[in-house]
Amino acid sequence: MKKIIFILPFILCATAANARVDYRVQAPKSYNNFDEETGREKPKTFASENRFYIKADFVTAWWQNANLSIPGTGTGTILRGDTDTSFDVGIGVRWVDWFRTEFEYYRFGANYGIGGGSVDKISIKGDAFMLNAIIDARVNHRFAFLRSQFLVPFVGVGGGVTHNSLSDSTIAAGHTLGKKYTPAVAAIAGVALEFNETFSIDFGYRYFYAFSPKIDEDIFGDRGIVPNGHQFRVGAKINF
Distances (CA, A) of 84 to 99, 151, 232: 30, 28, 11
35-39, 158-162, 173-177 — which one is most confidently predicted on average? 158-162
pLDDT value of residue 1: 56
**pLDDT tens track for 104-162:** 999 999 998 865 444 468 899 999 999 999 999 987 654 444 556 889 999 999 999 99
d(CA 89, CA 78) in angstroms, rounded, equals 33
For a pLDDT cut of 90, what percent of the chain falls above it?
A: 52
Is 166 within 8 Å of 214 (Cβ atoms)? Answer: no
Q: Could you tell me which residues come within 8 angstroms of residue 233 by beta carbon, excluding any fewer than 6 positions away?
A: 57, 58, 59, 60, 88, 190, 202, 203, 204, 205, 206
Is 101 within 8 Å of 93 (Cβ atoms)? Answer: yes
pLDDT value of residue 108: 96
Multiple choice CATH, 47-239, 2.40.50.140, 2.40.160.20, 2.60.40.1120, 3.40.50.1240: 2.40.160.20
d(CA 151, CA 135) in angstroms, rounded, equals 14
Report whether pLDDT(6) > 60: no
Report whether pLDDT(19) > 70: no
Q: Could you tell me which residues come within 8 angstroms of residue 136 by beta carbon, excluding any fewer than 6 positions away?
A: 97, 98, 99, 100, 152, 153, 154, 192
Is 124 within 8 Å of 109 (Cβ atoms)? Answer: yes
User: pLDDT category, 40, cuts 50, 70, 90?
Assistant: low
Distances (CA, A) of 16 to 6, 8, 20, 67: 17, 12, 7, 90
Annotated domain spans of the chain: 2-35, 47-239
- Among the listed residues 69, 65, 107, the one whose alpha carbon sits nearest the alpha carbon of residue 82: 65
**pLDDT tens track for 182-223:** 999 999 999 999 999 899 999 999 999 999 999 888 777 666
Is 159 within 8 Å of 130 (Cβ atoms)? Answer: yes
- Among the listed residues 189, 191, 211, the one whose alpha carbon sits nearest the alpha carbon of residue 202: 191
pLDDT value of residue 66: 85
User: Across the chain, what does the average pLDDT equal?
Assistant: 81
| DSSP-derived 3-state class of residue 13 | helix
Report whether pLDDT(23) > 60: no
Handedness of CA 141, 145, 149, 152 (dihedral sign): negative
